[in-house]
Amino acid sequence: MAETSGTEDTDAAGVADADGALCPEAIRRALAGHTTMTLAYVDEDGPQACAVLYATDAAEPGAEAGTGPALYFVTAATTRHGRALAEPGARVAFTAQRDGQEWSGLTGLQGRGGCRTLTGDERAAGWRIYTERFPFVAADDRLRAALERTALWELRPDWLRLIDNGQGFGHKEEWRRPAGP
């Protein structure tokens, strides 16, 4: 597992090795500070990317060490990316950043992980996080009804990298989910 806070010994790429399992606060704050991610995936026609609004539980460190943050987004299972994400073992990569940043202060995230659709109590919990982040969804009856009929996805990153040029050009902090049993 790798985690960087700027004080650990770093390897040649500037990424520190550490044994902590919690996702670093700076990465969690950055995830919570954005709302749009570009999701990249591969299907039978090759690589593709799409932008989706997301909400995250990353503001809190999580109940269990090593679980990492979750990102929630809505998309129909019939879309090209929905079909690709539904494939067994499908993996995605993503980025999140604000538009219009100056290079000297550029801040953004990169990540990889797996997605799954949520049902039952898990969907209800994810939906609460999503509608808290996007209250306009709950406020508009038509939009809420349409999105409630659409699949709610959970993306669980197993690798995250924060780029923060405001702390120095190319400054990186990384987190990896520890290997499971």
72 touches 126 (CB < 8 A)? yes
Nearest CA to 172 out of 163, 180, 181 is that of 163
Non-local CB neighbours of 124 within 8 Å, separated by 6+ positions: none
Non-local CB neighbours of 84 within 8 Å, separated by 6+ positions: 41, 42, 43, 48, 90
Phi, psi of 66 (to 5 degrees): 90, -15
Phi, psi of 42 (to 5 degrees): -130, 135
pLDDT in tens, the chain (181 residues): 333 433 333 333 333 334 456 889 999 999 999 999 999 999 999 999 999 999 998 766 554 555 789 999 999 999 999 999 999 989 999 999 876 656 666 678 999 999 999 999 999 999 999 999 999 998 999 998 988 889 999 999 999 999 887 788 878 889 998 876 5
**Spatial distance between the Cα atoms of 5 and 24, rounded to a whole number of angstroms:** 7
CATH fold, domain 25-176, is Pnp Oxidase; Chain A (2.30.110)
* Residue type for position 160: L
Per-domain boundaries in the chain: 25-176
Alpha helices per DSSP H over 72-178:
80-85, 120-133, 135-139, 141-148
Non-local CB neighbours of 16 within 8 Å, separated by 6+ positions: 2, 3, 4, 5, 8, 9, 10, 174
The count of other CB atoms within 10 Å of the CB of residue 89 is 5
The model's pLDDT over 103-131, given as tens digits with 9 standing for 90+, comes to 666 678 999 999 999 999 999 999 999 99
Say what the pTM is: 0.81
